[in-house]
Amino acid sequence: MSNEVNTTYFSGKQDPCRAIKYHLLLQLKQNQQLQGPGGHLGSRAAVAELRNKILPDFMAQAGIQDLTEKGLRLAVDIPQGEKPIIHLIAGPNVAAQCAQDWLSPAVPWNPQAPAAFFERCAEAARNGAKRMAFGNQMLYVSDRREVFGVMDGDPKATTHFLILATDVFGNVMDKGFTAEHLNAFFETAFQLCEQFGIINQPVRFIANTGTGFQVGPRVHLHVLSSPEGLPSMFPVDYGFSVAESGIIVSPSGSPAHDRIIDLIKERQQIKGFTEEAKSKRKELDQTIFAQLSELLLIL
CA dist 191 and 241 (Å) reads 38
CA dist 103 and 267 (Å) reads 11
Evaluate whether residue 99 is within a structural domain: yes
My answer on whether 130 and 269 are in the same domain is no
Per-residue pLDDT of the chain (299 residues; tens, 9 = 90+): 455 677 888 888 988 888 788 999 998 886 666 566 566 787 889 999 999 999 999 999 999 999 999 999 999 998 876 778 999 999 765 666 678 878 877 788 999 999 999 999 999 999 999 999 999 999 999 877 899 999 999 898 999 999 999 999 999 999 999 999 999 999 999 999 999 999 888 999 999 999 988 989 999 999 999 888 888 888 888 999 887 777 788 888 899 999 999 999 999 999 988 889 999 999 999 899 889 988 888 77
My answer on whether 168 and 272 are in the same domain is no
| DSSP code of residue 237 | G
My answer on whether 84 and 199 are in the same domain is yes
- 202, containing H or E segment: none
Look up the domain containing 265 and give its range.
Answer: 250-299
Asked if residue 200 lies in contact with residue 261, where contact means CB atoms within 8 angstroms, the answer is no
My answer on whether 60 and 97 are in the same domain is yes
CA dist 101 and 19 (Å) reads 17
Residue 216's contacts (CB-CB under 8 Å, 6 or more residues apart) are 115, 117, 118
> Terminal CA-to-CA distance of the chain, rounded, Å?
34
Evaluate whether residue 85 is within a structural domain: yes
Evaluate whether residue 245 is within a structural domain: no
Evaluate whether residue 240 is within a structural domain: no
CA dist 88 and 73 (Å) reads 6
Buried b (16+ CB within 10 A) or exposed e, 29-40: eeebebebbbbb
Evaluate whether residue 243 is within a structural domain: no
Radius of gyration of the chain (CA): 19
Query: Helix or strand or coil: residue 227?
Result: coil
